[in-house]
Structure 1
Amino acid sequence: MKTAEGATVSMRACYADEIDSQDKRLNANYKAYISLMSSDIKKKFVNAQRAWVKFRDENCEAFQSQEPGGTLSLIVGDSCYLKMTAERANDFQRKDSK
């Protein structure tokens, strides 16, 4: 972000790279986390994860909408998405893989 020097396009590119990284980490952690569960429990986690994705997207859109029409809204949305995705990836990180 320091190298972006306040340029929205550069800042969003930085966010995009980190979001991609955190999305991959979330998916890997989630798959590992549920891999040894019974099918009944796994189904509950699959349903919860689908609901969480919808919540994350709508939540970040709500925060983004507070800055209508400006480029700041895009940064707010990206920041929210990154923060929530990284936190969710942490939720599924196996204690034995730290």
Structure 2
Amino acid sequence: MIPLVRSWLILLATFICFGTVAKAQHMNSASAPCRNEVVTVAMENCFDKAYKAADGGLNQRFSQISKVLQADDLQRLKVAQRLWIQFRDATCTAESNLYNGGTASAPAYSACLEELTRQRTADLETIYGWVIANSK
């Protein structure tokens, strides 16, 4: 009887752990634009489109900031941005690898790219928004 109880407890703990991981993924976050998609291909297409829009917004904000920064400040921003891209890519690869190459791997990667890109755009606004406002 004890081995049966132990098996059920292990199974329950496994479901709790996997449920927690799935809820923590970027594709399931409250701000994820495609979290209600249920078909994997549709989810991947939606997150890819959302990422491209977020990346366009980031590039636009970066361009605006670049036009008003002094040369030294711009160089520091470029270094920071290159490091952020490395961080973003490593983070999203690690997240998508949680699916071990399964069908959710690609949407998880795109969702992570999209959310981290939106967050970076917001961070740049927080850091440099006043510089843009004061340059007008």
TM-score, normalising length from structure 2? Answer: 0.64
Residues in 1 aligned to 2:97 and 2:119: alpha-carbon distance in whole angstroms: 22
| In the alignment, structure 1 residue 17 sits paired with structure 2 residue 30 | no
Using the TM superposition, give the Cα deviation of residue 11 of structure 1 relative to its aligned residue in structure 2, in angstroms.
0.9
| Percent sequence identity over aligned pairs | 27
**Structure 2 unaligned spans of 5+:** 1-33
What is the match of residue 73 of structure 1? 105
Task: Work out which of the two has the higher radius of gyration on C-alpha atoms and give 1 or 2.
Answer: 2
- Post-superposition CA distance 1:52-75 (Å, at most 9, x none): 011101110011111102111112
Structure with bigger RCO (C-alpha 8 Å, 6+ apart): 1
Name which of 55, 61, 65 aligns with 1:29: 61
Secondary structure of the residue aligned to 1:53 is helix
Q: Mean alpha-carbon deviation: is it higher for 43-52 or for 70-79?
A: 70-79
Residues in 1 aligned to 2:44 and 2:107: alpha-carbon distance in whole angstroms: 7
Size of the alignment, in residue pairs? Answer: 94
**Structure 1 unaligned spans of 5+:** none
